Each structure stands twice: as structure tokens, then as C-alpha cells.
Amino acid sequence: MPSRRDILRYAAVGSAMTIGLGAGALAWSGTLLGEYSVMDMGAGGEHAAHAGHDASASAAGAGVSVTSLTADPDRPADVHVRFVVRQEPIDVPGGRRVDGFTVNGTSPGPEIRATQGDLVEVELVNESVTDGATLHWHGIDVPNAADGVAGITQDAVPVGGRHVYRFVATDAGTYWYHSHQVSHEQVLGGLLGAIVIDPAGTSAPEPATDVDVDVTALLHVYGGEHTLNGRAADERVEAAAGETVRVRVINTDQGTAAVWSAAPFRVVAIDGHDVNASTDVNGQRLLIPAGGRADVAVRVPSDGGAVRLQVGGARGVIIADSSHPEASAPPATQPQDTLDLLSYGSAEPLAFDPTAPDRSFDYVIARRFGVIDGRPGNFWTINGRMFPDVPMFHVREGDVVRMHLRNDSGDVHPMHLHGHHVVVLARDGVAASGSPWWVDSLDVHPGESYDIAFVADNPGIWSDHCHTLPHAVDGLVAHVMYEGVTTPFTINGEAGNRPE
Amino acid sequence: MYKVYAGLAWSIAGGVVVQAAAIAFAFGGLLNSVANGGVVDKALLESRQAGGVGELGFVLHALVGGGLIPLLAVVLLVVSFFVRVRGAKLWAAIVLALVGLQATLGFAIVGSPYLGLIHGANALAIVAAAVTAAVRVRRSSRSAAMLDRKQATSDAVTS
């Protein structure tokens, strides 16, 4: 028989537990996101801006819709492509059959080739991707309406639906396209492809880099298997002795890829921007962040041999003299020393002055336990805040924007800003001294900090997220929002938009 | 409550054993895959679809270490408030603190690999603390039961 004291004690404990559970359930349900607009994120960005003028100049009031930020609608297309996307198994040549996504029946999808200045028009038709699909033009500074982010610039294209993307290919270089709807599954599953924009007014060989042969090396892991241009095998390129081969390496994976060779190579472009006065790289590896690209020039040996350019850990491009079809090259050991792009090439003046920015933002990445959308976990934080309470970076068209990126977490983050290229000013306080290092995808390693700058010259609402896509699902995504720009699209609504 | 407390403490100790086994299996599988020509790089790890022999080991280590053991440690501390044994709360708190440290170290290892040395040693500390908690409670529950029995016997004799 319990004593009166015991009964009281049990009653107190029972009440405390009920209250605790109730409060817990209430707190948990408070994290459920439901349908939301990115415009409501970020609490006005007051914790993001610490310099410049009124940072809370919000997009409220009569604004310009993202849907009106398009390329000239009356201009006819120079390049027109129709992409039909499907959810179906992929037979990886030399590898296994894996479940995934195809573009016009293949993965990677067809490579788009355009010339600088062309108006590119791509019609996306979703035949069977059940979650819906979009196309994002990774690294191309497209007008906002063509950015392809579900729930921000468009609704995900449902099965049976279509959507047309139009943009002018302003900058020559190596880029790629991929779905930005449930991207952590669809990009992983292969809904992607390469797009190369050749410089205007030149035909190969390109005078600037003296390139004779131009090849694409798209890296992707399908079902745990490394592939190069969709095949689980090395690639062979043959050219005349002494000629230069430009290998356009595209890292479509979720982590950094290393590029190295026993022979010297030159890095002629990063993320679609030419390196000024590139020099030979010897005994060092080049690291390409997830989502990033690097164009590497390799000379065909004159002695009848071959050069092996290792692209990613598993695959290589063998560049050989066409008159010596038997020539090959064994894999070389990966160098421990990494090429530092902060001091690679020769400095040249920038077209804008980053020393007197109109806006300065912090983007500090850390990690802590918490609950996002009812899901407990160890999540990423931005400036100490967890998604969706992350900063909104408000800018005005024409602003010079500086951002201080810092990684206080234990994992590398390939940071990707849509619609803009940013120039690296300094890393860990050491100023950049090489060719202007323009990027759209930048690896920030644990403990590192980067000072970057860009000109806000492309109005819209732009994602600024980690391209290790599961990290974006776990909250590592913020946005740059131009004053006066609004979006009619929402996330988690009827259209089923889930951009990450 | 004594039994629940001791059961939880033993489960935590057992969980650490599972962790050691899982991670050894995982790295064995990984090295086996490399020995058979496989390549492990960041692209593969982040694709979360490696599918090799040891893959299950990594998944198990993450689930047990990141979810199950911390949960058991929290429940142990809650239960300790209903166990009237000296030191029960203290040892439950020690276990929870060590588990918290262990999870934090686990997440920080990629950035600072040397923390792995502490992560391995701390695992043994968790086993020791959990076993101490379990044994102490069992010992006192036994002596309490014996005391009760003696009491009951003497009551019966006197009545």
C-alpha cells in the first residue's frame, strides 16, 4: 500500500511528465514548416548585415515578380533543345544498372553546345519524374525566371507538364545543368548534363589558350560507382603530338574531386572564367568543389607516349599521340600538395572596387542539435541560426556586396551562389595574389574563412547554398534577395515544390 | 525501477561494444573494397550509396552512436531520479556527460582527426561508467531486498 507521500510524489511526477510532454509536442509542432515562401525567411536579415545602408530594405510592397525577370521574349532562339526527362533505371556502361533519372533517355543528358551571345532555349518535358522536375543552369548567370529553383522561380514541372527556359549565354565556359527539385535525389540519380559555351568570334584553335582539341569530362557517381561521361571506364583522347587538349572537368558529385597528372598541366579556367596567365602545374593536385568546374590544358607528348590526367579518384583521361594507338600511361600517385588558386596565375585589376562595399554580410557555418520541420538531428546553422530562421541577404541592384564566409563546422562545404560569380578577395586574411579567382562554387574547409565580393547585377531571388546537397536538405541554404523582387511560388504547397 | 535502471546501463555498455564491432567491420569492408580496386573519395562518401561490404557498419555506427545510445543515456538519467540508491543519479549523469562528449567528438573527427584518439578511449570510459552504474544499483537493490526480507522475517517472528 503506497503511503500518502508516495501518492503525492507519483502525482507530482505524473503532472511534470504530462506538462513536459505537452510542452515538447508544442515545441516540436512549432518547427513544422508547412507551406512557406522564401520571402518570409530570415527575420529581415538584421543579424546578417553589419555595415552598409539599411539592410532591412525588404521586398515588401509593390514589387517585380521573378517571373518577369526573363530574357528578351521577342528574340528568336539561336539554340533550341527539347529535353524529355524520365524516372527510369540507367544502364551504366561498364557498370551496374541503377535506378535514376534520364534526359532524352540518357544520363548524363545530352551536352548543350552554344556560342557566346546565343539565346539558348530549352523546353523541359516531364514524362515520368513523379516528384516533378526543373532545370537549373549551374554557373550560368541566367535571368532569375530561368534559374529553375522549384518554389522560388517556378513550380516543379509535374508529370505531363512542360516548362521553357530562355537565357542569353553571356559568358563562355564550362557549365552544367541539373534538376533543382528534390535535388539531393534527382542530381544524385543523374538528372543532369553538361553545357559548354564557346567564345564568340573564334573557332578552334582558341588563340587565348592555344587549344587544339576540346573534350568534356563529366564526373558522376551512380550507385556507388564512379563514372566519367556516364561510363565506368577511363576515357581516351587522341591528338597529334605537341597539340594541346582542353579537358573540361565537371564535378557533378556531392564532394570534392581531385585532378592530377604525372605530366605538367595548366588550369586555364575555373567555373567558366579564364585564368589570367596560367602556368604549368607540377607535382600538385587541383581540387574541384562539388558543383565546380575546371578546364585543364594538357600537351600531347611528342615522344609517342601518353599522358594520364586523373579526374576524380577513380577515373582518368588518357591523352595520347594519334600515331601511337598503343600508347598508354599508368595511374600516378596523387600528390599531397594542393594547387593554391589564391596565388595561381597573374593578378589583374577587377572591373569593380570591392574595398568600399555597399553591403557586407557574414555567412558563418556551424552545427548543432535541433529540430527542423519536425525532424530531429544534428543540423547546420548559418550565423548561429537554424533553418528557416537563417539570414536573408538583402541587396539593391548595382550594390557591391562583400561576404565573409567562415566554416566553424567539421566538414567541408562547397558554397554555391546562384545567378552570380563571386571573386575571392582573401582566405584566412591572406589576400588573393594570383589571377582573379572567380567562382560560383567554392570549397570552404573546416576552420577556414573566405572574403568574397560580387556585384549585384542580376535582380531576383537567388539561392546561396551548400552543394553537398544533403547538407542543403539539413538547412545549409540562405538566399540573396534583391529589393523590390517578389515570388508568387511557395515551398511545400500544392505544387509540391521541394527545391533541395 | 532498479531493474530498469540496471537494464538501461547494461544496454549502454552493450551498445558501445556494438559500436566497436560496427566500426571495425566498416573499415574492414572499406579496405576490402579498396583492395578489390574500388576507390573511396569524397564523391563516393557523400553519395551515400556506396553499397560496399562495410557500408552497413558505418550506418549502424551512426544510428547507434548518434541516436540509440544518447537516447538510452537520457532515459537512464530520468530513471535515476526514481531509484533510491546513493550515487545512482551521479553515475547516470556521468554516463550522459561521457556520451554527449563522445557524440560531439564523433561529429568533429572529420575536421580534427586526432580527436579520434580520445573518441576511442572515451568509449571505454562509457563502458566503465555504465557498468559501475549497473553494478552499484544491483548491489544496493540486493542489500535493500535482503534488508526487507530480514525485516519481514523479524516482523513475522515478533507477531
Domain boundaries, chain B: 2-158
CA separation for the pair A463, A255 (Å, rounded): 19
**A218: CATH:** 2.60.40.420
Residue of B nearest to A226 (CA): B44
Decide if A142 is inside a domain. yes
Same domain (yes/no): A189, A244: no
Cell 551504366 locates to A92
Burial of residue A308 (number of CB atoms within 10 Å: 0-12, 13-18, 19+):
buried
Q: Please, are residues A140 and A418 in contact by the beta-carbon 8 Å criterion? A: no
- Give the one of B42, B45, B107 whose C-beta lies nearest to A378's C-beta: B107
- Give the one of B45, B107, B111 whose C-beta lies nearest to A255's C-beta: B45
- Give the one of A13, A219, A412 whose C-beta lies nearest to B43's C-beta: A219
Higher pLDDT, A499 or B50: A499
Same domain (yes/no): A359, A464: yes
pLDDT recorded at residue A129: 97
Q: Which residues, in sequence order, are bridge partners of residue A138? A: A176
| B5-31 burial: b if 16+ Cβ within 10 Å, else e | bbebbbbbbebbebbeebbebbeebbe
Decide if A494 is inside a domain. no
Q: Domain total for chain A? A: 3
Cell 511560388 locates to A489
A residues 278..317 contacting B (CB < 8 A): 290, 312-314
* Chain B partners within 8 Å of A290 (Cβ): 42-43, 46
At residue B2 the predicted structure's pLDDT band, cuts being 50, 70 and 90, is confident
Which are the contacts of A483, defined by CB distance < 8 A and separation ≥ 6? A57, A58, A59, A394, A395, A396, A397
Interface test with B, best of A185, A250, A254 (most B CBs within 10 A): A254
- Torsion from C-alpha of A206, A208, A210, A212, nearest 10 degrees: -20
pLDDT recorded at residue A44: 44
Same domain (yes/no): A77, A164: yes
Nearest to A483 by CA among A37, A45, A35, A36: A45
pLDDT recorded at residue A7: 87
- Identify the helix (H) or strand (E) that includes residue A222: strand A213-222
Residues of chain A with pLDDT under 70: 1, 43-62, 202-209
pLDDT recorded at residue A56: 41
pLDDT recorded at residue A54: 43
Decide if A4 is inside a domain. no
Same domain (yes/no): A384, A464: yes
Burial of residue A17 (number of CB atoms within 10 Å: 0-12, 13-18, 19+):
exposed
Q: What is the secondary structure of B64-105 as a DSSP string? A: IIIIIHHHHHHHHHHHHTT--STTHHHHHHHHHHHHHHHHHH
A residues 382..401 contacting B (CB < 8 A): none
Of the residues A165, A198, A231, which one is the last residue of a structural domain? Answer: A198
Contact A470 B52 (CB under 8 A): no
Q: Chain B residues with CB-CB distance to A under 8 A? A: 39-52, 66, 82, 107-112
pLDDT recorded at residue A43: 55
- Identify the helix (H) or strand (E) that includes residue B132: helix B115-158
Nearest to A101 by CA among A201, A160, A186: A186
At residue B42 the predicted structure's pLDDT band, cuts being 50, 70 and 90, is confident
Same domain (yes/no): A183, A106: yes
At residue B30 the predicted structure's pLDDT band, cuts being 50, 70 and 90, is confident
Contact A313 B110 (CB under 8 A): no
What angle in degrees, to the nearest 10, is found between the helix axes of B115-158 and B88-108? 160
The range of the structural domain enclosing residue A111 comes to: 70-198
Same domain (yes/no): A166, A125: yes
- Give the one of A219, A224, A410 whose C-beta lies nearest to B112's C-beta: A410
* Chain A partners within 8 Å of B39 (Cβ): 226, 313-314
CA separation for the pair A447, A412 (Å, rounded): 9
Residue A466 contacts B, CB cutoff 8 Å: no
Same domain (yes/no): A54, A127: no
Interstrand relation of A400-407 and A119-126 (parallel, antiparallel or unpaired): unpaired
- Give the one of A223, A312, A411 whose C-beta lies nearest to B43's C-beta: A312
- Give the one of B47, B51, B82 whose C-beta lies nearest to A254's C-beta: B47
Same domain (yes/no): A120, A140: yes
Decide if A260 is inside a domain. yes
Contact A446 B111 (CB under 8 A): yes
A residues 78..137 contacting B (CB < 8 A): none
Contact B108 A312 (CB under 8 A): no
Decide if A341 is inside a domain. no
Q: What is the mean pLDDT of residues B89-102?
A: 94
| A334-354 burial: b if 16+ Cβ within 10 Å, else e | ebeeebebbebbeeeeeeeeb
Residue of A nearest to B107 (CA): A410
Decide if A31 is inside a domain. no
* Chain B partners within 8 Å of A257 (Cβ): 41-43
Amino acid at A472: A
Contact A251 B43 (CB under 8 A): yes
Decide if A18 is inside a domain. no
Same domain (yes/no): A403, A470: yes
CA separation for the pair B30, B58 (Å, rounded): 10
CA separation for the pair B71, B12 (Å, rounded): 10
Residue of B nearest to A258 (CA): B41
- Give the one of A13, A313, A367 whose C-beta lies nearest to B41's C-beta: A313
* Chain B partners within 8 Å of A468 (Cβ): 46
pLDDT recorded at residue A50: 43
Q: What is the mean pLDDT of residues B142-149?
A: 69
- Digit-coded pLDDT (tens) for A250-301: 999 999 999 999 999 999 999 999 999 999 999 999 999 999 999 999 999 8
Same domain (yes/no): A169, A96: yes
Same domain (yes/no): A442, A365: yes
Q: Please, are residues A415 and A427 in contact by the beta-carbon 8 Å criterion? A: no
Same domain (yes/no): A367, A288: no
